[in-house]
């Protein structure tokens, strides 16, 4: 295929074309940028794109771009790199950076330690404001995380307090750092899960949080821009799970077809196996269907109503749990809400169903002489099935959490499948109860 | 009911108990806190909770806490307040703040202007670094957005550049602001949608972005902590839509039962009406079902497989569109991916279905002498239904966007409902083709 890059693109044009380009074309277009524009362009790429671009560059250039990145981003890149290429990538770094990156690699990618930048501004409590500013001026050229705060540490590296640059800039020059610092900073334990870290950010509206170990020693800084990424990532994971897809972990258009089939085929086949129980359940009622074929007409309507109400309930509870609005011990409150809601929703659908059958019957007599029994069966079943779907859908995420699994696995299709079998049983049980001696 | 607040709680205890308390109990517990702790506590609450708390406080206290909030948060609170209480709330503010809040109210809540804080640090290009720092010291006590940057404006309030406090703190004192400023800052148009703003944040990894009008005049600052909230909010909205629930707009446990029924009942009833078409479709095939009841057994299995594969595809495409990974004009690329994926997934389920029928037949002879035809019908239908579900699920979000609607409305249940009717038609068409002259 001919290269799509036939002329020098501006950074804007390259950015526009980026998603459609192959790795080689990207590197080609990137290398045509003037150095300063290339650096700006590189820094704003996503971690995954930075890695791919780095690996597509010739060795000499690779090194100088790798140095532009802070250790936490470098660690992410190394983590996403296949085992056998990692050493080569680490070899690009100077010894200090390499050591920092290796320390970060000891953390899991989705915990605070794996998100943090180990470079930050350290201040001592007895420094004056002027000394602190002078010290900052000296460290100016180093690539440390200087977003908004300096961190005040004692001799054992324990975090004593936080000083915002704002307060440094605005305080009288002869004040001491310990007099202007915020003495009880919110901290993040190094092994805290990234989702919990994002809750802390949202709660305290801070733009950076210090990460400390069990002894209160400061290990690094997590900044808000990392958290925006985390929040997006976690939401994407949850949304994929709600749709019964294994989390893709990469942009949709960049996942290979084989990967795509694997990430979807697993759940789809599992749901299919579960759904086979419906054929078994139907088998038990084959005689009833043979006697009253009219019953078969409403099967899709009944079971899909259970599935839909279950999807609604599970989606709401899964999201509420992810946002920390509902905790496991509140399952009872959830149940006490969903019971009346399920009953009301079932009642609404039941009434519509009843009306529909009576209207069609009046128009075309299509349901035979016992249409009233059919209508009653459908309406009753709808109440039961929707109530059941609502309760199952709302309790399943809580049950999964209780069992140590991810509540988001209670996907809409999973709940629908669970509810389908029971929906059939509810329907035919209603039918037998209502029609015994008449049609059945 | 006896109050749950029978003793003075620490801020930590109050925070723990918060979700379970009524508005009155919250106000009661809050007012028992010492003033400084109360202020800290108030500031970290969510906007909605701040509003409810404010409204539950006596008038005198209300005013002093309202003043703690920046104008953008105040505007949010006013926006969420019923029309008739707004004047009273605005009356609590001093004239400057009231004017700022009223200006913000002109923006929609979900655009950049509605997110921004109109107070920020203005610098002039010809100031020296020392003058800038002295100016900052003077403005120290005002509640302005001083997170990390000062904004350099000309006489017409047009934004010339951005100066980080870091660079102010670390630059030689006699340099001029215009020499150390970043001259081509990323800016946000005032009417930009909040989702687009969040993409800019994620892309540039910045902690604050300036908002400008069409003439380049600076209007305010959007900060990263607002964006974390936006990203969460947007994800929640999308997740609720994917689950076929109208966005709740409030925490799950705080929505009234009636609201809950309304937010769910609408979609559920609409889906139910759509699903009624299945009963109509089934009516056309009543004669076939009567002749071969065995066909009815597999109806739930067939249609749910279509629904599940459709849910997967729509969820993936909806999320990819929300993240900006897939754009409308890329519909062809999506289709070209989903066709082979759908065919492969359909093939897998078809094979499992074929195997299942053959195995059950071998074990119990439950499908009669023409079991091979039944198995063939089911397998063929599965390929067709899954392929169809996949294509519909992936194209529907793009079609909705094309029509100006929200792609996330292509919820899992919506897609499943759409696919159910066609699934039945595919199934019975296959059955008639395969079994004509034998069973049908």
Touching check for B145 and chain A: CB below 8 Å?
A: no
Q: Which of A166, A207, A344 sits opposite B224 (nearest CB)?
A: A207
- Say whether pLDDT at A231 is over 50: yes
Q: Which of A204, A228, A243 sits opposite B412 (nearest CB)?
A: A243
A205 → chain B, closest CA residue: B225
Task: Check B224 against A229: CB less than 8 A apart.
Answer: no
User: Six-digit token pair at B230?
Assistant: 């936006």
B291–chain A Cβ distance below 8 A for any pair:
no
Nearest CA in chain A to B130: A169
Whole-angstrom distance, CA of residue B95 vs CA of residue B99: 6
- Lowest pLDDT segment from A4-8, B184-188, B278-282: A4-8
A154-162 average pLDDT score:
92
Contact A371, A357 (CB under 8 A): yes
Handedness of CA A18, A24, A29, A33 (dihedral sign): positive
B28-54 pLDDT per residue, tens = 888 888 887 888 788 778 777 887 888
Averaged pLDDT, B151-177: 86
Q: What's the CA gap between A290 and A275, in Å, rounded?
A: 22
Contact across the interface for B272 and A353, Cβ inside 8 Å: yes
Q: Name the token pair of A135.
A: 């010290």
Q: What angle do CA B398, B404, B406 make, to 5 degrees?
A: 65
Q: How many residues would you count in chain B?
A: 440
Q: Which residue would you say has higher pLDDT here, B437 or A344?
A: A344
What pLDDT, on the 0 to 100 scale, is given for residue B27?
Answer: 86
Q: Is B204 on the interface with A (CB under 8 A)?
A: yes
* A17: helix, strand or coil: helix
Helices A224-242, B194-204: crossing angle, 10 deg rounding: 120
pLDDT value at residue A299: 92
Which tokens in the block code for residue B27? Answer: 């106000």
pLDDT band at A389 (very low <50, low <70, confident <90, very high): very high
Which of A134-138, A283-287, B88-92, B243-247 reaches the highest mean pLDDT?
A283-287
- A residues 409..438 contacting B (CB < 8 A): 411-413, 416-417, 420, 424
Give the per-residue pLDDT at B18.
80
User: What is the chain B residue with the closest CA to A366?
Assistant: B283
**What is the spatial distance between Cα A332 and Cα B3, in angstroms, rounded to a whole number?**
21
Alpha-carbon distances, residue A171 vs A163, A180, B311 (angstroms): 11, 8, 57
Q: What is the pTM of this model?
A: 0.76
Distances, alpha carbon A329 to alpha carbons A326, A337, B5, B52, in Å: 8, 15, 21, 25
Please name the residue that has the structure tokens 């996942």: A255
Mean pLDDT of A138-166: 77
At B132, is the pLDDT very low, low, confident or very high (cuts 50, 70, 90)? Answer: confident
More confident residue, A247 or A374: A374
Q: Name every chain B residue with its beta carbon within 8 A of the beta carbon of A251.
A: 320, 323, 325
Residue A205: the pLDDT is 67
Contacts of A201 in chain B (CB under 8 A): 225, 228
Question: Tell me: the pLDDT tens digits for A274-326?
Answer: 888 898 888 899 888 888 888 889 999 999 999 999 999 999 999 898 888 88
* 3-class SS string, A24-74: HHHHHHHHCCCHHHHHHHHHHCCHHHHHHHHHHCCHHHHHHHHCCCCHHHH
pLDDT reported for residue B339: 95
pLDDT of residue A429: 94
Three-state DSSP class for residue A124: coil
Confidence tier at A158 by pLDDT (50, 70, 90): very high
Residue B243 and residue A316 in contact, taking contact as beta carbons nearer than 8 Å: yes
The answer to whether A222 contacts chain B (CB < 8 Å) is no
CA dist A428 and B366 (Å) reads 20
By residue count, chain A amounts to: 440
Work out the pLDDT band at B233, boundaries 50, 70, 90. Answer: confident
pLDDT at B144: 52
Distance CA B122, CA B135 (A): 10
Among A78, A98, A122, A101, which Cα is nearest to A210's?
A: A122
For A182, phi then psi, to 5°, come to -85, 115
Q: Please enumerate in sequence order all residues whose Cβ is within 8 A of that of A31, keeping only pairs 6 or more positions apart, or say none.
A: A38, A57, A61
pLDDT of A170 higher than 80: no
- The confidence score (pLDDT) of residue A78 equals 81
B175 to chain A nearest CA, in Å?
Answer: 13
Could you tell me which residues come within 8 angstroms of residue B425 by beta carbon, excluding any fewer than 6 positions away?
A: B281
The strand pairing partners of A212, in sequence order, are A189, A218
Q: Which of A7-21, A343-357, B102-116 is the least confident region?
A: A7-21
Q: How far apart are CA B45 and CA B77, in angstroms?
A: 12
The DSSP element (H or E) to which B151 belongs, if any, is: strand B149-153
pLDDT at site A1: 39
Computed over every residue of chain B, the mean pLDDT equals 85
Is residue A147 pLDDT above 70, yes or no? no
ipTM for the whole complex? 0.75
Q: b/e per residue, A332-343, with b = 16+ CB within 10 A?
A: eebeebbeebbb
Closest residue to B202, CB basis, from A133, A229, A412? A229
- Residue B332 contacts A, CB cutoff 8 Å: no
- B273-310 burial, b if ≥16 CB within 10 A, otherwise e? ebbbbbbebbeebeebbeebbbbbbbbbbbbbbbbbbb
Q: Give the closest-approach CA distance of B243 to chain A in angstroms.
A: 5
Measured at the alpha carbon of residue A387, what is the angle toward residues A383 and A389, in degrees to the nearest 5?
Answer: 120
A328/B contact by beta carbon, under 8 A: no
- The answer on pLDDT for A28 being more than 90 is no
Single out the residue of B223, B112, B197 nearest to residue A202, CA to CA. Answer: B223
Is the pLDDT at A47 greater than 60? The verdict is: yes
Q: How many CA atoms lie within 13 A of A50 on its CB side?
A: 27
Which of A49-53, A331-335, A406-410 comes out lowest in average pLDDT? Answer: A49-53
- The answer to whether B167 and B180 are in contact (CB under 8 A) is yes
Tell me phi and psi for residue A379, to 5 degrees. -65, -45
**Helix and strand numbers, DSSP H then E, in chain A:** 21, 6
With CB atoms and an 8 Å threshold, state whether B320 touches A206: no
B372-386 CB burial, b ≥16 within 10 A, e <16: ebbbbbbbbbbbbbb
Tokens (6 digits) for A107: 């953390």
Shortest Cα distance, chain B CAs vs residue A10, angstroms: 16
A411-427 pLDDT, tens digit per residue, is: 888 898 889 999 999 99
The residues, any chain, with a CB within 8 Å of residue A88's CB and separated by 6 or more, are: none
- Residue B207 to residue A207, Cβ atoms within 8 A: yes
What confidence score (pLDDT) does residue A400 get?
92
pLDDT band at A6 (very low <50, low <70, confident <90, very high): low
pLDDT confidence band for B1 (50 / 70 / 90) = very low
Q: Name every chain A residue with its beta carbon within 8 A of the beta carbon of B308.
A: 244, 268, 271-272, 413, 416-417
CA distance A254 to A260: 10
- Would you say residue B148 has pLDDT above 50? yes
Question: Does residue B59 register a pLDDT over 90?
Answer: no
Q: Which of the listed ranges A36-50, A385-399, B219-233 does the model predict with the highest average pLDDT?
A: A385-399
pLDDT of amino acid B381:
96
Q: In this predicted model, which residue has the larger pLDDT, A267 or A93?
A: A267
User: Is the pLDDT higher at A274 or at B138?
Assistant: A274
Distance CA A417, CA A250 (A): 28
DSSP code at position A108: -
**Stretch B200-212: mean pLDDT:** 80
Q: Which residues of A214-223 are buried (b: 16+ CB within 10 A; e: fewer)?
A: eeeebbbbbb
């Amino acid at each position: 295929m001919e290269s799509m890059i036939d002329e020098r693109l501006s950074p804007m044009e390259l950015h526009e074309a980026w998603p459609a380009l192959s790795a080689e074309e990207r590197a080609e277009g990137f290398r045509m940028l003037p150095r300063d524009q290339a650096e700006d362009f590189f820094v704003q790429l996503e971690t995954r794109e930075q890695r791919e671009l780095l690996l597509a560059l010739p060795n000499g250039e690779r090194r100088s771009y790798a140095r532009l990145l802070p250790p936490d981003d470098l660690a992410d890149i190394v983590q996403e790199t296949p085992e056998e290429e990692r050493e080569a990538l680490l070899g690009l770094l100077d010894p200090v950076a390499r050591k920092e990156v290796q320390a970060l690699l000891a953390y899991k990618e989705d915990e605070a330690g794996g998100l943090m930048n180990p470079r930050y501004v350290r201040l001592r409590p007895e420094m004056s404001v002027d000394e602190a500013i002078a010290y900052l001026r000296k460290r100016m050229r180093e690539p440390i995380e200087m977003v908004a705060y300096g961190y005040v540490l004692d001799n054992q590296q324990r975090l004593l307090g936080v000083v915002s640059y704002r307060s440094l800039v605005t305080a009288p020059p002869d004040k001491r750092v310990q007099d202007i610092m915020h003495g009880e900073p919110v901290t993040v334990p190094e092994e805290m899960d990234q989702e919990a870290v994002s809750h802390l950010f949202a709660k305290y509206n801070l733009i950076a949080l210090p990460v400390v170990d069990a002894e209160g020693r400061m290990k690094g800084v997590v900044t808000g821009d990392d958290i925006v990424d985390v929040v997006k990532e976690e939401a994407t994971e949850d949304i994929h799970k709600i749709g019964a897809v294994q989390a893709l972990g990469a942009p949709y258009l960049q996942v290979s077809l084989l990967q795509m089939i694997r990430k979807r085929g697993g759940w789809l086949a599992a749901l299919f196996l579960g759904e086979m129980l419906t054929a078994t359940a139907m088998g038990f009622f084959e005689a009833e269907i043979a006697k009253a074929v009219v019953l078969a007409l409403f099967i899709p309507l009944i079971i899909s109503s259970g599935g839909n109400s279950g999807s609604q309930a599970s989606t709401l509870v899964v999201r509420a749990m992810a946002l920390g609005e509902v905790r496991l011990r509140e399952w009872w409150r959830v149940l006490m809400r969903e019971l009346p809601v399920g009953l009301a929703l079932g009642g609404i659908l039941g009434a519509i169903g009843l009306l529909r059958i009576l209207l069609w019957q009046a128009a075309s007599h299509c349901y035979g002489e016992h249409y009233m029994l059919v209508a009653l069966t459908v309406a009753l079943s709808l109440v039961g099935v929707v109530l059941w779907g609502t309760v199952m859908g709302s309790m399943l995420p809580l049950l999964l959490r209780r069992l140590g699994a991810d509540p988001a696995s209670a996907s809409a299709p999973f709940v629908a499948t669970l509810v389908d079998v029971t929906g059939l049983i509810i329907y035919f049980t209603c039918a037998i109860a209502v029609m015994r001696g008449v049609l059945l």
